[in-house]
């Protein structure tokens, strides 16, 4: 294993069968980046970006060790989907670790913040209980891949079948 893709700023790496790691540098000190991850009113401004087809309906976060969170996505309350879990560890300006409990085989997500010359190096690791859980993991609220990938998949499946 160990596939990696990067555009210079955001690097995404499948570090092992069960582990996905995303790294990114932010041009701001850790205290500000940490605020944006730990205060619900800031978090909800970016976790579901405008390109997201499904809006964030509600966002409750009690960011402390042992606390919980609940995010609801959807166009209205009747057609919504909740994501929830608890914070296993919150160390201000260093680390946030949470569970993803909405599905059967949810990941444990660890976000670490390191300050380098006034900037923040952020590392987000998702550790899944099995390879299959990561393979099939839900990618945010988006359809897993844009249409062109679906088309590529289809073509590759055709080619694979004819080998």
Q: Report the 3 state secondary structure along 117-162.
A: CCEEEEEEEEECCCHHHHHCCCCCCCCCCCHHHHHHHHHHHHHHHH
Q: Please tell me whether residue 155 binds other proteins under the rule CB under 8 A.
A: yes
User: Long-range contacts of range 54-60, CB-CB < 8 Å, 24 or more positions apart?
Assistant: 54/81, 54/141
For residue 114, give the DSSP letter: E
Among 33, 61, 97, 111, binds other proteins (CB under 8 A): 33
Q: Per rule CB under 8 A, is residue 116 in the interface with other proteins?
A: no
- CA–CA dist 129, 18 (Å, integer): 7
Residue 50 engages other proteins in binding (rule: CB under 8 A)? yes
Structure tokens at 146: 């844009």
Question: Per-residue x/- mask for other proteins, residues 2 to 31, rule CB under 8 A?
Answer: xxxxxx-xx-xxx-----x-x-x-xxx---
| Tokens representing residue 142 in the block | 């988006």
Q: Give me the 66-85 binding string for other proteins, x by CB under 8 A, dash otherwise.
A: --------------------
Helix (H) or strand (E) holding 66: none
> Which one, 5 or 78, has the nearer CB to other proteins?
5
Out of 16, 19, 35, 110, the residue judged to bind other proteins by CB under 8 A: 35
With CA atoms as reference, report the closest residue to 100 among 77, 127, 135: 127
Per CB under 8 A, 121 contacts other proteins: no
The tokens of 80 are what? 């919504």
Minimal distance, residue 152 CB to other proteins, in Å: 6
- Which tokens sit at 46? 């970016």
Q: Is residue 115 involved in binding other proteins (CB under 8 A)? A: no
Residues forming the site for other proteins (CB under 8 A): 2-7, 9-10, 12-14, 20, 22, 24, 26-28, 32-33, 35-36, 42, 45-47, 49-52, 124, 135, 139-140, 142, 144-146, 148-149, 151-153, 155-156, 158-160, 162-163
């Amino acid at each position: 294993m160990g596939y990696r893709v990067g555009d210079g700023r955001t690097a995404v790496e499948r570090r092992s069968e069960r582990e996905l790691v995303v790294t990114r540098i932010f041009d701001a000190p850790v205290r500000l980046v940490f605020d944006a991850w730990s205060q619900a009113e800031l978090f909800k401004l970016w976790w579901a970006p405008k390109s997201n087809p499904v809006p964030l309906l509600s966002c409750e976060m009690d960011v402390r060790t042992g606390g919980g969170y609940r995010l609801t996505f959807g166009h209205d309350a009747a057609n919504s989907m909740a994501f929830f879990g608890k914070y296993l560890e919150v160390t201000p300006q260093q680390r946030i670790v949470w569970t993803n409990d909405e599905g059967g085989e949810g990941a444990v997500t660890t976000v670490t913040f390191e300050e380098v010359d006034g900037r923040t190096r952020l590392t987000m690791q998702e550790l899944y209980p099995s390879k299959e859980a990561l393979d099939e993991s839900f990618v945010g609220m988006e359809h897993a891949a844009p249409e062109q990938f679906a088309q590529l998949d289809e073509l590759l499946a055709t080619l694979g079948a004819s080998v």
